[in-house]
Amino acid sequence: MASSSNPTPMIINWSATETEKFIALMVDNVRNGQKTTTTFTKIGWSNIKAGLETDFQCSFIKDQLRNKMYKLRGDYDSFKKLLETTGFGWDYQTRTATAEDSIWERAIHANPTWSKFRRSGLPWWPELEEIFSEHHTWRDKGMSNITVNIPPRVINEHEDVFPQTQIESLRYVGLDDIEETDGEEEVTPTVNKRGT
């Protein structure tokens, strides 16, 4: 990870253990209300940074955390689109996307970046959904009664249900864009309804 000889590396290789801990810390901070619609509060980022540094006994900088969050958000968005594609499902036991070979081949031909999901899935999908889904962002802000009435699409009787529409990605906000708050900021949810 980060070393004292190079205190500010911009690109680092995250181990699976570091990634899992980073995701777990983000989930904890989502559940504790330390996430806005686009990023974490300063308290949330401080909690995440401190948790990583305690567990791995090395320094992390905000750009590393922000870049990793953006990478995970990109994976989340891409995997979400894959799961919303007709013929795909989610296997909770193996934590992978499921589809017939011919469906995979057509999907990968149309979107080559999905080939990585065929090999290894996205093991952190449920956690990333909790972090990046708008519904989960609002849950611990006292807005758990807010729901978006999107009819579910059943792929088949043996697969899970996924939403039929996509909510547009929000603008990414960096750590430098975060204003100092006491953690009690008010979030006003907005939903972009397309095609209704």
Residues whose CB falls within 8 Å of the CB of residue 102, separated by 6 or more in sequence, listed in order: none
**pLDDT tens, 54-98?**
999 989 998 899 999 999 999 999 999 999 999 999 998 888 999
Whether residue 170 is contained in a domain is answered as no
pTM tops 0.85: no
Whether residue 43 is contained in a domain is answered as yes
Note the pLDDT of residue 37.
Answer: 84
Angle at 58 between CA 57 and CA 60, to 5 degrees: 135
When the pLDDT of each residue in the chain is averaged and rounded to a whole number, the result is: 74
Domain containing residue 116: 16-160
| pLDDT mean over 42-64 | 93
Note the pLDDT of residue 77.
Answer: 95
pLDDT of 17 strictly over 80: yes
| DSSP notation for 90-136 | EETTTTEEE--HHHHHHHHHH-GGGHHHHHH--TTHHHHHHHH-HHH
Whether residue 145 is contained in a domain is answered as yes
How many domains is the chain built from?
Answer: 1
Q: Which residue has the higher pLDDT, 31 or 141?
A: 31
Whether residue 93 is contained in a domain is answered as yes
Whether residue 128 is contained in a domain is answered as yes
Whether residue 87 is contained in a domain is answered as yes
Note the pLDDT of residue 13.
Answer: 85
Whether residue 122 is contained in a domain is answered as yes
**pLDDT tens, 113-160?**
999 999 888 999 999 999 998 754 334 333 333 233 333 333 333 433
SS3 153: strand
Q: How many whole angstroms separate alpha carbon 82 and alpha carbon 85?
A: 5
Q: Running DSSP on this structure, what letter comes out for residue 140?
A: T
Band of pLDDT at residue 185, cut at 50, 70 and 90: very low
Note the pLDDT of residue 119.
Answer: 84
Q: Which helix (H) or strand (E) element contains residue 176?
A: none
List the beta bridge partners of residue 162: 153
Angle at 114 between CA 109 and CA 119, to 5 degrees: 110
Band of pLDDT at residue 33, cut at 50, 70 and 90: very high
Note the pLDDT of residue 11.
Answer: 62
